[in-house]
Protein backbone atom coordinates (compact mmCIF):
# COMPACT_ATOMS: atom_id res chain seq x y z
CA UNK A 1 0.00 0.00 0.00
CA UNK A 2 0.93 3.58 -0.28
CA UNK A 3 1.78 4.30 3.32
CA UNK A 4 5.02 5.51 1.91
CA UNK A 5 5.63 9.17 2.70
CA UNK A 6 4.57 11.27 5.61
CA UNK A 7 1.84 13.68 4.75
CA UNK A 8 2.17 17.32 5.71
CA UNK A 9 -0.47 20.03 5.61
CA UNK A 10 1.20 23.34 4.91
CA UNK A 11 -0.90 26.44 5.48
CA UNK A 12 0.88 29.54 4.25
CA UNK A 13 -0.70 32.56 2.64
CA UNK A 14 2.40 33.90 0.90
CA UNK A 15 2.18 32.07 -2.44
CA UNK A 16 5.86 32.43 -3.29
CA UNK A 17 7.21 31.33 0.04
CA UNK A 18 4.57 28.63 0.28
CA UNK A 19 5.46 27.14 -3.07
CA UNK A 20 9.17 27.19 -2.38
CA UNK A 21 8.66 25.53 0.98
CA UNK A 22 6.31 22.96 -0.49
CA UNK A 23 8.80 21.99 -3.18
CA UNK A 24 11.57 21.80 -0.64
CA UNK A 25 9.56 19.42 1.52
CA UNK A 26 8.54 17.32 -1.46
CA UNK A 27 12.18 17.05 -2.44
CA UNK A 28 12.79 15.67 1.01
CA UNK A 29 10.23 12.94 0.58
CA UNK A 30 7.20 14.37 2.21
CA UNK A 31 3.78 14.52 0.63
CA UNK A 32 2.67 18.09 0.94
CA UNK A 33 -0.73 19.68 0.58
CA UNK A 34 -0.54 23.44 0.42
CA UNK A 35 -3.47 25.56 1.60
CA UNK A 36 -3.38 29.28 0.99
CA UNK A 37 -5.36 30.39 4.03
CA UNK A 38 -6.82 29.23 7.31
CA UNK A 39 -10.22 28.41 5.88
CA UNK A 40 -8.84 26.29 3.10
CA UNK A 41 -6.40 24.74 5.54
CA UNK A 42 -9.15 23.50 7.80
CA UNK A 43 -11.19 22.18 4.90
CA UNK A 44 -8.22 20.22 3.65
CA UNK A 45 -7.43 18.98 7.12
CA UNK A 46 -10.92 17.57 7.52
CA UNK A 47 -10.78 15.82 4.19
CA UNK A 48 -7.65 13.78 4.85
CA UNK A 49 -5.30 12.39 7.46
CA UNK A 50 -2.05 14.22 8.00
CA UNK A 51 1.09 13.31 9.88
CA UNK A 52 1.92 16.93 10.59
CA UNK A 53 0.68 20.48 10.14
CA UNK A 54 2.90 23.46 9.47
CA UNK A 55 0.96 26.65 10.03
CA UNK A 56 1.85 30.23 9.32
CA UNK A 57 0.67 32.35 12.22
CA UNK A 58 0.20 35.61 10.35
CA UNK A 59 -2.64 35.01 7.95
CA UNK A 60 -5.64 37.12 6.99
CA UNK A 61 -9.16 36.12 8.14
CA UNK A 62 -8.04 33.16 10.19
CA UNK A 63 -4.68 33.16 11.91
CA UNK A 64 -2.59 30.10 12.58
CA UNK A 65 -3.47 29.82 16.26
CA UNK A 66 -7.18 29.82 15.60
CA UNK A 67 -6.72 27.23 12.92
CA UNK A 68 -4.60 25.16 15.27
CA UNK A 69 -7.41 25.14 17.85
CA UNK A 70 -9.86 23.89 15.27
CA UNK A 71 -7.42 21.24 14.20
CA UNK A 72 -6.87 20.20 17.83
CA UNK A 73 -10.60 19.79 18.24
CA UNK A 74 -10.60 17.25 15.46
CA UNK A 75 -7.32 15.60 16.30
CA UNK A 76 -5.53 15.62 19.62
CA UNK A 77 -2.31 14.13 18.44
CA UNK A 78 -1.29 15.57 15.12
CA UNK A 79 1.98 17.51 15.50
CA UNK A 80 1.77 21.23 14.76
CA UNK A 81 4.63 23.54 13.90
CA UNK A 82 4.09 27.28 13.79
CA UNK A 83 5.85 29.68 11.49
CA UNK A 84 5.99 33.09 13.14
CA UNK A 85 7.17 36.33 11.63
CA UNK A 86 8.99 37.58 14.69
CA UNK A 87 10.23 36.27 17.95
CA UNK A 88 7.22 36.98 20.11
CA UNK A 89 7.31 35.21 23.40
CA UNK A 90 3.65 35.67 24.21
CA UNK A 91 2.59 34.32 20.90
CA UNK A 92 4.91 31.42 21.25
CA UNK A 93 3.40 30.59 24.61
CA UNK A 94 -0.04 30.92 23.17
CA UNK A 95 1.03 28.46 20.56
CA UNK A 96 2.18 25.95 23.07
CA UNK A 97 -1.10 26.17 24.89
CA UNK A 98 -2.74 24.95 21.75
CA UNK A 99 -0.40 22.02 21.83
CA UNK A 100 2.15 23.05 19.29
CA UNK A 101 5.20 20.86 19.01
CA UNK A 102 7.51 23.57 17.85
CA UNK A 103 7.76 27.01 16.39
CA UNK A 104 10.10 28.67 13.93
CA UNK A 105 10.83 32.34 13.44
CA UNK A 106 10.76 33.57 9.89
CA UNK A 107 13.06 33.79 8.12
CA UNK A 108 14.43 30.40 9.10
CA UNK A 109 16.98 27.97 7.82
CA UNK A 110 15.12 25.33 5.85
CA UNK A 111 17.50 22.72 7.17
CA UNK A 112 16.47 23.55 10.68
CA UNK A 113 12.85 23.08 9.77
CA UNK A 114 13.68 19.73 8.28
CA UNK A 115 15.48 18.64 11.39
CA UNK A 116 12.59 19.72 13.56
CA UNK A 117 10.17 17.82 11.40
CA UNK A 118 12.29 14.72 11.55
CA UNK A 119 12.73 15.00 15.31
CA UNK A 120 9.00 15.38 15.86
CA UNK A 121 8.09 12.58 13.50
CA UNK A 122 10.52 10.36 15.31
CA UNK A 123 9.17 11.28 18.70
CA UNK A 124 5.61 10.71 17.62
CA UNK A 125 6.27 7.33 16.09
CA UNK A 126 8.52 5.75 18.67
CA UNK A 127 5.88 3.22 19.54
CA UNK A 128 4.41 2.82 16.11
CA UNK A 129 5.71 0.53 13.43
CA UNK A 130 8.98 1.22 11.74
CA UNK A 131 8.28 3.50 8.80
CA UNK A 132 10.61 1.74 6.42
CA UNK A 133 10.56 2.89 2.88
CA UNK A 134 8.99 0.57 0.42
CA UNK A 135 11.56 -0.79 -1.96
CA UNK A 136 10.04 -3.90 -3.47
CA UNK A 137 7.16 -4.09 -5.87
CA UNK A 138 5.40 -6.72 -7.91
CA UNK A 139 4.23 -5.36 -11.23
CA UNK A 140 2.46 -8.08 -13.16
CA UNK A 141 5.15 -10.61 -14.01
CA UNK A 142 7.87 -8.22 -12.96
CA UNK A 143 9.58 -7.70 -9.68
CA UNK A 144 11.18 -4.37 -8.92
CA UNK A 145 13.87 -4.08 -6.31
CA UNK A 146 14.19 -0.37 -5.95
CA UNK A 147 16.98 -0.41 -3.42
CA UNK A 148 19.29 -2.50 -5.56
CA UNK A 149 17.95 -0.90 -8.69
CA UNK A 150 16.99 -3.90 -10.74
CA UNK A 151 13.94 -5.28 -12.46
CA UNK A 152 13.39 -8.98 -13.02
CA UNK A 153 10.87 -10.71 -15.24
CA UNK A 154 10.03 -14.26 -14.17
CA UNK A 155 13.32 -16.13 -14.14
CA UNK A 156 15.13 -13.99 -16.63
CA UNK A 157 18.28 -12.14 -15.83
CA UNK A 158 17.83 -8.93 -13.93
CA UNK A 159 17.69 -5.67 -15.84
CA UNK A 160 19.83 -3.05 -14.19
CA UNK A 161 18.07 0.28 -13.85
CA UNK A 162 19.68 3.70 -13.81
CA UNK A 163 18.83 5.92 -10.84
CA UNK A 164 16.31 7.93 -12.83
CA UNK A 165 14.71 4.85 -14.39
CA UNK A 166 14.48 3.31 -10.97
CA UNK A 167 12.96 6.27 -9.21
CA UNK A 168 10.46 6.85 -11.94
CA UNK A 169 9.32 3.26 -12.03
CA UNK A 170 9.11 3.20 -8.27
CA UNK A 171 6.95 6.29 -8.27
CA UNK A 172 4.69 4.73 -10.88
CA UNK A 173 4.49 1.53 -8.85
CA UNK A 174 3.55 3.48 -5.74
CA UNK A 175 0.59 4.78 -7.70
CA UNK A 176 -0.17 1.45 -9.38
CA UNK A 177 -3.27 1.63 -11.55
CA UNK A 178 -3.65 5.21 -10.47
CA UNK A 179 -2.53 8.55 -11.80
CA UNK A 180 1.05 9.52 -11.17
CA UNK A 181 1.08 13.26 -11.88
CA UNK A 182 3.83 14.61 -14.10
CA UNK A 183 4.50 17.36 -11.64
CA UNK A 184 5.07 14.88 -8.84
CA UNK A 185 7.80 13.03 -10.68
CA UNK A 186 9.41 16.25 -11.81
CA UNK A 187 9.59 17.77 -8.35
CA UNK A 188 10.58 14.55 -6.62
CA UNK A 189 13.02 13.12 -9.13
CA UNK A 190 14.20 15.99 -11.28
CA UNK A 191 13.74 18.57 -8.57
CA UNK A 192 12.69 21.04 -11.19
CA UNK A 193 9.67 21.41 -13.43
CA UNK A 194 10.38 22.92 -16.83
CA UNK A 195 10.21 22.08 -20.49
CA UNK A 196 13.47 20.19 -20.64
CA UNK A 197 13.02 18.11 -17.50
CA UNK A 198 9.59 17.24 -18.76
CA UNK A 199 11.01 16.05 -22.09
CA UNK A 200 13.68 14.14 -20.22
CA UNK A 201 11.00 12.40 -18.25
CA UNK A 202 9.28 11.40 -21.47
CA UNK A 203 12.52 9.81 -22.60
CA UNK A 204 12.56 7.77 -19.43
CA UNK A 205 8.96 6.74 -19.85
CA UNK A 206 9.93 5.40 -23.27
CA UNK A 207 12.80 3.45 -21.74
CA UNK A 208 10.56 1.94 -19.09
CA UNK A 209 7.96 0.99 -21.68
CA UNK A 210 10.66 -0.91 -23.53
CA UNK A 211 11.54 -2.89 -20.43
CA UNK A 212 7.92 -3.56 -19.58
CA UNK A 213 7.08 -4.88 -23.04
CA UNK A 214 7.90 -8.40 -21.89
CA UNK A 215 4.62 -8.60 -20.03
CA UNK A 216 1.73 -7.83 -22.34
CA UNK A 217 -0.49 -7.08 -19.36
CA UNK A 218 1.68 -4.30 -18.04
CA UNK A 219 1.51 -0.89 -19.61
CA UNK A 220 2.27 2.74 -18.95
CA UNK A 221 -0.62 4.89 -20.11
CA UNK A 222 -0.51 8.61 -20.62
CA UNK A 223 -3.20 10.89 -19.32
CA UNK A 224 -2.85 13.88 -21.53
CA UNK A 225 -1.74 16.94 -19.65
CA UNK A 226 -1.94 15.14 -16.31
CA UNK A 227 0.63 12.42 -16.02
CA UNK A 228 1.04 8.68 -16.39
CA UNK A 229 -0.61 5.56 -15.13
CA UNK A 230 1.07 2.20 -14.66
CA UNK A 231 -1.61 -0.40 -15.23
CA UNK A 232 -1.59 -4.15 -14.72
CA UNK A 233 -4.38 -6.15 -16.30
CA UNK A 234 -5.31 -9.52 -14.93
CA UNK A 235 -4.51 -11.82 -17.84
CA UNK A 236 -7.74 -13.51 -18.78
CA UNK A 237 -8.44 -13.21 -22.45
Q: Which residues bind a copy of itself (CB under 8 A)?
A: 109, 111-112, 115-116, 118-119, 122, 147-149, 162-163, 178-179, 223-226, 229
Q: Which does 27 bind (CB under 5 to 8 A by kind): DNA, a copy of itself, none?
A: none
Of 117 and 201, the one with the shorter C-beta distance to a copy of itself is: 117
Site residues (CB under 7 A) for DNA, limited to 161-200? 162-165, 182, 190, 196-200
- The answer to whether 115 contacts DNA (rule: CB under 7 A) is no
With beta carbons less than 8 A apart as the criterion, state whether 45 and 74 touch. yes
- The answer to whether 160 contacts DNA (rule: CB under 7 A) is yes
User: Residue 184 CB, nearest distance to DNA (Å)?
Assistant: 13
- The answer to whether 216 contacts DNA (rule: CB under 7 A) is no
Q: Is 70 helix (H, G, I), strand (E, B) or coil?
A: helix
- The answer to whether 226 contacts DNA (rule: CB under 7 A) is yes
The counts of H helices and E strands in the chain are: 8, 12
- What are the respective helix, strand and coil percentages of the chain, to the nearest 5? 40, 25, 35
Other CB atoms closer than 10 Å to residue 40's CB: what's the count?
16
Closest to 53 in 3D by CA, of 88, 107, 95, 106 = 95
Burial class (CB in 10 A: 0-12, 13-18, 19+), 90: exposed
Question: How far apart, in whole angstroms, are the C-alpha atoms of residue 172 and residue 192?
Answer: 18
- The answer to whether 94 contacts DNA (rule: CB under 7 A) is no
Q: Which does 147 bind (CB under 5 to 8 A by kind): DNA, a copy of itself, none?
A: a copy of itself
Q: Which does 137 bind (CB under 5 to 8 A by kind): DNA, a copy of itself, none?
A: none
Give the helix/strand (H/E) hosting 133. none
Q: Which does 112 bind (CB under 5 to 8 A by kind): a copy of itself, DNA, none?
A: a copy of itself
Q: Which of 60, 225, 236, 237 binds DNA (CB under 7 A)?
A: 225
Question: How far apart, in whole angstroms, are the C-alpha atoms of residue 92 and residue 101?
Answer: 11
User: Residue 135 CB, nearest distance to DNA (Å)?
Assistant: 16
Of 62 and 143, the one with the shorter C-beta distance to a copy of itself is: 143
φ, ψ at 223 (rounded to 5°): -115, 105
> Crossing angle, helix 38-47 and helix 64-74, to 10 degrees?
20
User: Residue 162 CB, nearest distance to a copy of itself (Å)?
Assistant: 7
Q: Which residues are near DNA by CB under 7 A?
A: 149, 160, 162-165, 182, 190, 196-200, 202-207, 209-210, 222, 224-227
Amino acid sequence: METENKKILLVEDDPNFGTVLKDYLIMNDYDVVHAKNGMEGFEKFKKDDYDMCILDVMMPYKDGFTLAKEIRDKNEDVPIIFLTAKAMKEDVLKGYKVGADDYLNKPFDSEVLLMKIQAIMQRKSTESVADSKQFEFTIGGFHLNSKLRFLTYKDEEAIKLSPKENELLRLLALHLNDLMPRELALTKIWRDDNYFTSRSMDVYIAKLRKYLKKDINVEILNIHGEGFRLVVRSDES
